[in-house]
Amino acid sequence: MGFGADAGELDLAPMTISLADIQAAAGRLKGQAVETPLIESPALNARLGGRIFLKPETLQRAGAFKFRGAYNRLSQLGDEEKARGVVAFSSGNHAQGVALAAQLLGIPALIVMPSDSPAIKVENTRGYGAEVRLYDRFTEDRVAIAAEIAAQRGSTIVPPFDDPHIIAGQGTLGLEIVEQAAARGARLDTVICCVGGGGLMAGTSTAVKALSPDTAVWGAEPAGFDETRRSLESGRRETVDPAARSICDALLSPTPGELTWPINQKNLAGIVAVTDAEVAEAMRYAFATLKLVVEPGGCVALTAALTGKVDLKGRTAAIVLSGGNVDPELFARVLRGEI
């Protein structure tokens, strides 16, 4: 096992996440997280020329995969740590996942969120009982703000991706994908997943490669925020141009995670970048054809397939739809073809 079972016994040098860690997380999440289905669309199969499964984490509690990692992390805090509360920083989905997990476990939570986060994500985070501290993502340092608040309160910081328990929790998604595909009599040639800081990809790719070593795992990132793609090319962690902008608010990490990067570097077949216009078109396709509401960041993996940047012709594949917490006004603009 790559790290101790207790939250205070992490062994990060070297840090590894094993299938056993992910299976242990699945045990903690049983009865708490939704085991989202693996669904198949004849229309999508026909368009892409393969057998395509979709993993709709839009149906997960709090509307995104983030609940998995958050609950796995918070459930392992000691009683004193729970009493002192937790502090997290997030553009929205991790915020909601932590807020809900904290509510379920009776833990006070404060979330540091960008002032330009979709209003629905801020409202939902507060709705789960968390305190919200807004900041300017372009002029302020969210990590520094969270660290200062945590120091003042004696709280535990719950990072969005650079934590082994978070990564293991997210990895339960990959575990489910492989097991559900096998139950349908399918061997997966390809899995496509979004990449932000890399926690979901690190956990998912670890589970997939452990259970199905021949499956190629591909990542998708927003253009301008494709720092993991560029990192794979250079062999070192790259950073994002501060001037970059994207509608994919859930994936705007400035650099690959310190813990997630080496895992993804080892596991991934490659990463592609998709534009906002391509993402918007995929969102319209998901709504009109698949009957699914998917937020921009949650739709980049589907975009990679629909654009042919990851070619699925003649292949059996699973595509992760990582979240559905889209701002209503933004979604209306997308559906009107304004983006």
Question: Which CATH number do you get for residue 134?
Answer: 3.40.50.1100
In a domain, 96, yes or no: yes
Asked if residue 99 and residue 41 are part of one domain, the reply reads no
Does residue 230 share a domain with residue 127?
A: no
**Of 158, 186, 212, which residue sits at a domain end?**
158
Name the more confident of 91 and 233: 233
Supply the pLDDT for residue 9.
Answer: 35
Mean pLDDT of all residues in 52-81: 98
- 53 has a pLDDT exceeding 60: yes
Examine the pLDDT at 2 and tell me if it is beyond 50: no
Nearest Cα residue to 175 out of 35, 315, 303, 61: 35
The last residue of one of the domains, among 158, 176, 193, is: 158
Considering 142, 158, 174, which residue would you say is the last residue of a domain?
158
| Domain membership flag for residue 83 | yes
The structural domain count of the chain equals: 2
Residue 15: what pLDDT? 66
Residues 294, 173, single domain; the answer is: yes
Confidence at residue 91, expressed as pLDDT on a 0 to 100 scale: 80
Given the residues 55, 66, 121, 209, select the one marked as catalytic. 66
231 has catalytic annotation = no
Asked if pLDDT for residue 11 goes beyond 60, the answer is no
pLDDT tens digit string along 276-334? 999 999 999 999 999 999 999 999 999 999 999 999 999 999 999 999 999 999 999 99
Q: Does the structure show a pLDDT above 50 at 159?
A: yes
pLDDT in tens, 224-252: 999 999 999 999 999 999 999 999 999 99
Same domain, 198 and 53: yes
Identified catalytic residue from 90, 117, 155, 322: 322
pLDDT exceeds cutoff 50 at 256: yes
* Residue 66 known to be catalytic: yes
Quote the CA–CA distance of 116 and 320 in Å, as a whole number.
25
Q: Using an 8 Å Cβ cutoff, are 130 and 146 in contact?
A: no
Residue 12 has pLDDT above 90, yes or no: no
Does 8 map to a domain? no
Residues pairing with 222 in the sheet: 274
- Whether residue 214 lies inside any domain: the answer is yes
In a domain, 11, yes or no: no
Cα 17 to Cα 309: distance, rounded to the nearest angstrom: 29
Does residue 42 have a cis peptide bond before it, meaning omega lies within 30 degrees of 0?
A: no
Model confidence at 268: pLDDT above 80: yes
Residue 297, both tokens: 């960041």
Residue 40 belongs to domain spanning: 19-64+164-335
- Output the average pLDDT for the chain: 94
Q: Is the C-alpha dihedral spanning 200, 205, 206, 211 positive or negative?
A: positive
Please report the pLDDT score of residue 32 as a whole number. 98
